[in-house]
Amino acid sequence: MAAPAVVVVGAGQAGVETAAALRGRGFTGRITLIGDEPPWAGYRPPLSKGYLAGAAPAEDMALRPASFFAERDIEIRVGDRATSVDPERRTVTLRSGLRVPYDRLVLATGSRPRQLPVPGASLGGVLTLRSRADADELRARLSDPPRRLVVVGAGFIGLEVAATARGLGHEVTVVDVQRRALARALTPVLSSRVVAEHRAHGVRVLLGREVTALHGDTEGQVQIMELDGGERIAADLAVIGVGVLPHTDLALTADLMVGDGIVVDERLRTSDPDIYALGDCARFPSPRAGRHLRIESVQNASDQAKCVAAGICDEPFAYTSVPWFWSEQYGLRMQLAGLTAGHDEVVTSGDVEGGRFSVFSFRAGRLIGVESVNRPADHGISRRLLASDTTLTPDEVRAPGFDLKKLPRTSPTERVAVRT
Amino acid sequence: MAKITYQHPNGTVTVVDVEAPNTVMRGAKLNNVDGIEAQCGGSAQCGTCHVYVDEASTVVLPEMDPVEDDVLYGTACERTEHSRLSCQLPVTEALDGLLVHLPEAQS
Ligand SMILES: Cc1cc2nc3c(=O)[nH]c(=O)nc-3n(C[C@H](O)[C@H](O)[C@H](O)COP(=O)(O)OP(=O)(O)OC[C@H]3O[C@@H](n4cnc5c(N)ncnc54)[C@H](O)[C@@H]3O)c2cc1C
Ligand code: FES
């Protein structure tokens, strides 16, 4: 039988890596990659960090150079958008009217920023950050005179933008309705340390406060942010970082199962076995979390791409990677391994004040996640520990002289228990 | 400019010319050399740009800084005394003729 024809929708991290991983496995069938954004503008991490600060060059945003696709015989259509899928006829229809047949379809459609549901959210100068174009606009508005920037949402993107803008000399206020920053992603130890760092750098961080409206000037540009209780804060610019919504519209046209993301199984197949979904848009069963979840990270998109490619090549593969993520704010290099939600015990090792420490999270005595600040070795070793069956107990972390570097090296395939 | 050779685990080699101010990691990316993932884009966070410098190499590499040393604890394949992060190796004339071996896996 001839190799199946694969159509990948979305030329971002997940889509490009899927096409690359297929060719990497020696897949010889036809691959068509459809994207409304070109892959040479698709690597996003620098957009809130170095690129926004003007330090990282635009070339750093390329997922792959243009030559990659021709060299690997990947047909690429950028600037077009898939508008519907017909699973009976197995075709994808594009905005241009083109119909592309597939044997296997891969949905790598990513996500978009959530809008703030308050009056004034569509005023000029109220921005979200997802694409290179968004970053260019924000960068242009942050060039030259000092601005009063308000950031709504103390998540990774909001806080990275705040740190970058503060570094450029702007006056920055961050507001979040949650009582602590990054409440979903981080343990309280790290979230309060991050907030302390922002405050030490002169950022005003208001937690447990709700933005009720944005008000504009006569030209429709944002001027005031209003909070619960009526407080008004002057703003020349507002960045909304209140989370993302997965792109599921296309999946709905194919009647796929959807619920906060396109629902997939452990091999990343949707409710139609010929259609896969991955990356920001996919909701997968996580053996680590014991439930379905969506993860928005480069690691997740890249590693899931390998799983989808293996699936299309009929090779067994289930998605069990250890999630990891990084963020950089001021001099703090934060790295997260595993998932900390649902922890019942945390043990901190190192110097929290000095900004060199790790926070180990346990559930029922079992290590589930590690947050490291300026401790890259702890992060790397933790990723391997979490991938193996090796145990690390809270008492081991608490023991005087504890040093992860002293543990014998483990790999995911070695099933050994390390005990001192 | 420097000529850099990347040797894949199956023995095949790719030789490319890399210009300053790129790194050995970026040289691979720009030339579509497989086997280097570089998930963090070169910011010394991920360890997925790990390479083994050829044992017989006489090319003098920059000293390893403590961050690179720490990140190398997290590589998917075993770290050896020849391990480096390719994103922390800036290309200069001095790197001309460098041979690096790519690991079996990066993540
Ligand atoms: C500012 C910013 C900073 C970040 N920093 C980090 C970080 O430091 N570390 C980290 O791990 N992660 C970071 N992330 C998250 C990471 O970038 C995402 O998780 C990752 O890009 C997800 O990949 P994806 O392919 O699922 O989605 P995307 O990369 O968004 O790609 C999806 C693509 O599909 C396109 N598309 C959607 N629908 C259609 C359609 N119908 N037809 C055609 N094309 C379509 C979209 O336009 C987009 O180009 C950051 C994200 C942002 C926005
Ligand atoms: S690219 Fe991530 S450590 Fe080199």
Query: Which atom of ligand 1 is found nearest the CA of A15?
Result: 25
A183: tokens are 């409440």
Pairing of strands A91-94, A99-101: antiparallel
Query: What is the chain B residue with the closest CA to A70?
Result: B32
- B103 and A CB contact within 8 Å: no
Cα(B24) to ligand 2 centroid in Å equals: 11
The average pLDDT across A60-68 equals 94
Take residue A405 and report the two structure tokens written for it.
Answer: 């570097």
Q: How far apart are CA A261 and CA A270, in angstroms?
A: 11
Distance CA B7, CA B26 (A): 16
Distance of alpha carbon A141 from alpha carbon A13, whole angstroms: 27
Cβ atoms within 10 Å of A21's Cβ, excluding its own? 22
DSSP B72: G
Q: Tokens 């302390």 identify what position?
A: A196
The chain B residue lying nearest A47, using CA atoms, is B41
Q: What is the pLDDT of residue A57?
A: 87
Mean pLDDT, to the nearest integer, of A319-345?
95
Q: Does an H or E element contain A387, and which?
A: helix A376-387
Q: In A102-170, where do the E strands start and end?
A: 104-107, 111-113, 126-127, 148-152
pLDDT single digits (tens) B64-81: 999 999 999 999 999 999
Mean pLDDT of A121-145: 95
- Tell me which residue in A43, A299, A321 faces B41 most closely, judged by beta carbons: A43
Predicted local confidence at residue A94, as pLDDT = 98
Is the omega angle on the peptide bond into residue B90 within 30 degrees of 0, that is, cis?
no
Structure tokens at A370: 């590690």
pLDDT in tens, A83-121: 999 999 999 999 999 999 999 999 999 999 999 999 999
User: What's chain B's average pLDDT?
Assistant: 96
Q: How far is the CA of A45 from the centre of ligand 2 (A)?
A: 13
User: Which of B37, B49, B102, B107 best tests ligand 2's pocket when mutated (most atoms within 8 Å of CB)?
Assistant: B49
Residue A197 tokens read as 């760092």
- Token pair belonging to B2: 């420097």
Q: What is the pLDDT of residue A232?
A: 98
Ligand nearest to the CA of B50: 2
Compute, in angstroms, the gap from residue B68 CA to the centroid of ligand 2.
9
How is residue A6 written in tokens? 């694969």
> How far is Cα B6 from Cα B25, in angstroms, rounded to an integer?
10
Q: B80 at the A interface (CB within 8 A)?
A: no
The residue in chain A having the minimum alpha-carbon distance to the alpha carbon of residue B37 is A302
Task: Tell me the mean pLDDT in the region A317-334.
Answer: 95
Rounded mean pLDDT, A142-152 = 93
Pocket of ligand 2 (CB under 6 A): B 25, 38-40, 42, 44-49, 71, 85, 87
Write down the pLDDT at residue A407: 82
DSSP H or E run through A93 = strand A91-94
**pLDDT the model gives residue A184:** 86
**Residue A361's pLDDT band (cuts 50, 70, 90):** very high
Q: How is the beta sheet containing A91-94 ordered, strand by strand? A: A82-86, A91-94, A99-101
Residue A35 has a pLDDT of 97
The contacts of residue B49 (CB under 8 Å, 6+ apart) are: B25, B36, B37, B38, B42, B85, B86, B87, B106
Q: How confident is the model at residue A419 (pLDDT cuts 50, 70, 90)?
A: very low
Tell me which ligand sits closest to the C-alpha of residue B86: 2
Model confidence, pTM:
0.96
Flag whether residue A65 sits within 8 Å of chain B, measured between CB atoms.
Answer: yes
Q: Given A303, A326, A384, which is nearest B45 (Cβ)?
A: A326
Strands lying side by side in the sheet with A237-240: A126-127, A237-240, A148-152, A171-176, A204-207
d(CA A146, CA A171): 7
What tens digit of pLDDT does each residue of A13-24 get?
999 999 999 999
User: For helices A13-24 and A298-312, what crossing angle results, to 10°?
Assistant: 40
Ligand 1 mutation target, pool A44, A296, A302, A322, most atoms within 8 A of CB: A44
Give me chain A's average pLDDT, please. 94
Residue B32 is predicted with a pLDDT of: 96
Confidence category of residue A410, pLDDT binned at 50, 70, 90:
low
| pLDDT attached to residue A417 | 33
List, as one string, the DSSP characters of A198-247. HHHTT-EEEES--EEEEEE-TTSBEEEEEEGGG-EEE-SEEEE-S-EEE-
Name the least confident of A261-275, A379-393, A406-420: A406-420
A414 has a pLDDT exceeding 70: no
What's the gap in Å between A91 CA and the centre of ligand 2?
A: 39
- Residue to mutate among B45, B71, B72, B79, with most A CBs inside 10 A, is B45
How does pLDDT run across B82-91, given as a tens digit for each residue?
Answer: 999 999 999 9
> Over the range B8-37, which residues count as b (16 or more CB within 10 Å of their CB) and which as e?
eeeeeebeeebeeebbbbbbbbbbbbbbbb
Interface contact flag, A65 B32, Cβ < 8 Å: yes
Q: How far is the CA of A66 from the centre of ligand 1 (A)?
A: 18
Cβ neighbours of B107 in A, within 8 Å: 299, 302-303, 321
Nearest CA-CA distance, residue A262 and chain B, Å:
24
Contact A90, A102 (CB under 8 A): yes
Q: Hey, what's the torsion of the CAs at A18, A106, B46, A417, to 10 degrees?
A: -100
* Calpha distance A106→A245 (Å, rounded): 19
ipTM: 0.95
How large is the average pLDDT for residues A119-137?
A: 97
Chain CA centroid to CA A278, Å = 12
Q: Report yes or no: B76 and A290 within 8 Å, Cβ to Cβ.
A: no
Q: Is A411's pLDDT higher than 90?
A: no
Q: Count Cβ atoms below 10 Å from residue A184 Cβ, excluding itself.
A: 10
Total Cβ atoms within 10 A of residue B85: 27
* pLDDT for A391: 83
Q: Under a CB-based contact definition with an 8 Å cutoff, are residues B4 and B24 in contact?
A: yes
CB of A30 less than 8 A from some CB of B: no
Secondary structure in 3-state letters for A24-39: HCCCCCCEEEEECCCH
> CA of A226, closest CA in chain B: separation in Å?
37
Query: Nearest-CA residue of chain A relative to B33?
Result: A68
Q: Which residue has the tokens 């243009």?
A: A66
Residue with tokens 């690390």: A392
Ligand 1 centroid–CA A130 distance in Å is: 7
- Residue-wise pLDDT tens digits, A244-258: 999 999 999 999 999
Whether residues B74 and A384 touch (CB distance < 8 A) is answered with yes
**Closest alpha carbon to A225 in A154, A125, A144:** A125
Residues 6+ apart with CB under 8 A from A409: A384, B78, B79
Identify which of A94, A102, A97, A93 has the alpha carbon closest to the alpha carbon of residue A36: A94
Residue A340 has pLDDT above 50, yes or no: yes
